[in-house]
Structure 1
Amino acid sequence: MLAYGYANSGGAAPLIAIEQPDLMPASDQIVLTTLAVNINRADHLNLTGHLTLPLIPGHDVVGRISQIGSSVTGLPLGTLVAAYTTQTYAEQVIVDEDKLVPLPDELPALEAVSVITPGITAYKIVHYFADVQPGQTVIVKGAAGSVGRLVVQLAKRLGATVLAVAEQRHTRLLQALGVQQIVAYDQQNPAHVLANRGDVVINVAPNGLDGKTDLAMAKFDATIVSMAPSLPATSKAIVFKTVQPTDTISDTAVLQTLFKLLQTKQIQTQVGYQLPFTLAGFTQAQELLTVEHNGRIVVAKTE
Structure 2
Amino acid sequence: MKVFGYQTFGGPEVFQEMEVDDPEITTENQVVIETLVVGLNNFERAQRAGMFGGELPIVPGRDLVGKIIKIGDNVSDFKIGDVVIAHAGPAYAEKVVTTPRHLVKKPANVTNEDAVALITPGITAYNMLTHFTQVKRGDTVLVNGASGGVGTIIVQVAKALGAYVIGVASSRNEQLLKNLGVDEIGLYDQEEVGTKFANRADVVLNAAMNGNNDALIDQAVKPDGQAATVGQSTELINKPNVKVAGVQPIAESINQLALIELAKMLAKNEIKVDIFRELPFTLQGVIDGHELLETSHAPGRIVLVR
Range into which the TM-score falls when normalised by the shorter chain: over 0.9
| Equivalent residues, number | 301
2:37 paired residue number: 36
Select between 53-62 and 227-236 the one with higher mean Cα deviation. 227-236
1:263 paired residue number: 267
1:233–1:92: structure 2 CA closer, same or farther, 3 Å change rule? Answer: closer
- The equivalences for 1:84-123 within 5 A come to 84-123=87-126
Deviation at 1:50, TM superposition (A): 5.1
The separation in 1 between residues aligned to 2:66 and 2:205, in whole angstroms, is 33
1:97–1:214: structure 2 CA closer, same or farther, 3 Å change rule? Answer: closer
Do the aligned partners of 1:3 and 1:20 also contact (CA within 8 Å) in 2?
A: yes
1:175–1:124: structure 2 CA closer, same or farther, 3 Å change rule? Answer: same
What is the identity, as a one-letter code, of the residue corresponding to 1:294? P
Do the aligned partners of 1:262 and 1:268 also contact (CA within 8 Å) in 2?
A: yes
The separation in 2 between residues aligned to 1:256 and 1:216, in whole angstroms, is 34
Structure 1 SS opposite 2:137: coil
Deviation at 1:11, TM superposition (A): 5.2
Structure 1 SS opposite 2:120: helix
Structure 2 SS opposite 1:22: coil
- Deviation digits for residues 82-105 of structure 1, max 9, x if unmatched? 111121001111111332211111
1:247 paired residue number: 251
The separation in 1 between residues aligned to 2:252 and 2:2, in whole angstroms, is 35
1:134–1:93: structure 2 CA closer, same or farther, 3 Å change rule? Answer: same
1:50–1:264: structure 2 CA closer, same or farther, 3 Å change rule? Answer: closer
2:283 paired residue number: 279
Select between 41-50 and 187-196 the one with higher mean Cα deviation. 41-50
Do the aligned partners of 2:38 and 2:64 also contact (CA within 8 Å) in 1?
A: yes
Identify which of 251, 272, 296 aligns with 2:301. Answer: 296
Q: Which runs of 5+ in 1 are unaligned?
A: none
Deviation at 1:71, TM superposition (A): 2.8
Structure 2 SS opposite 1:9: coil
The separation in 1 between residues aligned to 2:119 and 2:87, in whole angstroms, is 7
- Deviation digits for residues 19-65 of structure 1, max 9, x if unmatched? 11112112221111100001001112124365332210000010111
Deviation at 1:233, TM superposition (A): 4.9
- Let me know the Cα RMSD of the aligned residues: 1.7
The separation in 1 between residues aligned to 2:265 and 2:55, in whole angstroms, is 38
What is the identity, as a one-letter code, of the residue corresponding to 2:61? G
The separation in 1 between residues aligned to 2:125 and 2:236, in whole angstroms, is 26
TM-score by length of 2: 0.93
- Deviation digits for residues 237-280 of structure 1, max 9, x if unmatched? 12211111222862222111111111111111111110001000
TM-score by length of 1: 0.94
1:248–1:52: structure 2 CA closer, same or farther, 3 Å change rule? Answer: closer
Select between 221-230 and 28-37 the one with higher mean Cα deviation. 221-230
Identical residues among aligned pairs (%): 37
The separation in 2 between residues aligned to 1:297 and 1:12, in whole angstroms, is 15
Do the aligned partners of 1:212 and 1:232 also contact (CA within 8 Å) in 2?
A: no
The separation in 1 between residues aligned to 2:148 and 2:187, in whole angstroms, is 14
1:166–1:249: structure 2 CA closer, same or farther, 3 Å change rule? Answer: farther
Confirm whether residue 173 of structure 1 aligns to residue 176 of structure 2.
Answer: yes
Deviation at 1:211, TM superposition (A): 2.4
- The equivalences for 1:145-160 within 5 A come to 145-160=148-163
The separation in 1 between residues aligned to 2:77 and 2:208, in whole angstroms, is 40
- The equivalences for 1:149-228 within 5 A come to 149-228=152-231
Do the aligned partners of 1:211 and 1:232 also contact (CA within 8 Å) in 2?
A: no
Confirm whether residue 7 of structure 1 aligns to residue 20 of structure 2.
Answer: no
Do the aligned partners of 2:102 and 2:252 also contact (CA within 8 Å) in 1?
A: no
1:81 paired residue number: 84
Q: Which runs of 5+ in 2 are unaligned?
A: none
Structure 1 SS opposite 2:14: coil
Do the aligned partners of 2:12 and 2:290 also contact (CA within 8 Å) in 1?
A: no
